[in-house]
Amino acid sequence: MKHYLLDGEWVYREENYRRAFELVDGYIDAFMDGLRSGRSVKAEEIDVKRVLLLGMGGSGIVCDIAAEILSSRGIAAQVSKEYTAPLGEWDLIIAISYSGNTSETLNSLLRFLDQDSRLVAVTSDGRLARLGEKFGFKVVRVRGGIPPRYAFPDMLGAILGYLENLDLELARINLDEIREFQEGLKRDKGVDENPAKEAAIRISKSHPIIYVYREVRLPGYRLKCELNENAKLLCHYAEIPEALHNDIEAIPRDGLIIVPRSFREPYEISKTIEALSRLLGESRVLELRARSKSYFEEIIELFMLSDYISLYTSVLRGVNPLILHRIERLKDINAAYHEIKRRLDEKLG
């Protein structure tokens, strides 16, 4: 059966929805463009054992994925989402800020400006790009003019492409597999056969509660952030099994547990989710699955699924998935932000 909104072509003719879906439909090409940009920036020859990654929000999650991949290759990687970077010795410092103007990221970077050979930035522009020009560190540019969170594939490709030049080939990707998965999430696939539309319908009628475990922490977090920013929907996010020792007592009547699942899921976690589903009733648990059975493809597919779910939820809630009402305004009225910008502008001359 068709859904009156999600399966209605007219909905997607509205400019904001059309543009948002177009951006998410372009995921793979954007990733490939990013990869090419990253590869085109020659890296210094350094032996990389310890990496620090700086980034917030939609840029920060790119740091999270890169760190997870680096760690899986035996490289110690730490992500910082603070105003000041943690103390430590780093072989490589990666700053990612789509706008190039995020104060936490730039302020953290300040202390490393004299270590230009160890620094690399990913950005579309802003003060970060100008700092790169002035202090001589590498800058990988991604396309400008879109909201940062939609540039996730561009930025991920950019940093992975750059790391290849350091002999760190981190992602061998089967794009055909991902492409096929994506086809099943697009607007022309009806509710009956489209897991993203089905999930959005359930989410929009409930109080969403995202439960993650280690292997799916990042896609689960992406879903939380995308529901917040695109669908303007507050949702709860917690880690299991810990949450099952406290959080579970407070699940509201209309709570819908959303659990991304992974082929890498440990046996104990599978059994725990099964038990949770028995306890609450299957109708109160929504499982999100990718199709691929390899690490990188699965992560990307779960990210895509999360992004589409958030867009369909924005349609159901009648909100604009491109516009943010508070994030930029808060930056504008935050004295700390202005102070950091002033210090940066002094440095930039």
- Residue numbers at the binding site for ligand F6R (CB under 6 A): 56-59, 97-99, 102, 105, 147-149, 229, 327
Report the alpha-carbon distance of residue 212 to residue 228 in Å, rounded: 17
Shortest distance in whole angstroms from residue 210 CB to ligand F6R: 17
Block residue for tokens 């099994």: 241
Nearer to ligand F6R by C-beta: 148 or 195? 148
Closest CA to 337 of 130, 107, 112: 107
Answer yes or no: are the C-beta atoms of 286 and 202 closer than 8 Å: yes
Number of neighbours of residue 132 by Cβ within 10 angstroms:
21
Q: H-type helices in 150-294, by residue range?
A: 152-164, 175-183, 195-204, 217-229, 267-280
- Whose Cβ is closer to ligand F6R: residue 46's or residue 336's? 336
User: Minimum CB separation from ligand F6R for residue 129, in Å?
Assistant: 12
- Provide the minimum distance between the beta carbon of 44 and ligand F6R in the complex, in angstroms, as a whole number: 24
Nearer to ligand F6R, 174 or 334 (CB): 334
Nearest-CB residue for ligand F6R:
57
Measured in residues, the chain has a length of 349
Closest approach of ligand F6R to the CB of residue 218, in Å: 15
Residue placing its CB nearer to ligand F6R in the complex, 102 or 310: 102
Please report how close the Cβ of residue 58 comes to ligand F6R at its closest, in angstroms: 3
Strand partners, 77: 51
Contact 142, 41 (CB under 8 A): no
Q: Least distance from C-beta 229 to ligand F6R, angstroms? A: 6
Q: How far apart are CA 54 and CA 81, in angstroms?
A: 6
The count of other CB atoms within 10 Å of the CB of residue 89 is: 7
Rounded to whole angstroms, how far apart are CA atoms 153 and 151? 6
In this structure, what are the phi and psi dihedrals at residue 170, rounded to the nearest 5 degrees?
-100, -20
Q: Which residue's CB is nearer to ligand F6R, number 6 or number 62? A: 62
CB of 10 to ligand F6R, least distance (A): 27
Burial of 192 (0-12, 13-18, 19+ CB in 10 A): exposed
Cβ contact 314:76 at 8 Å: no
142/276 with CB nearer ligand F6R: 142
Q: With respect to ligand F6R, which residue has the nearer C-beta, 105 or 182?
A: 105
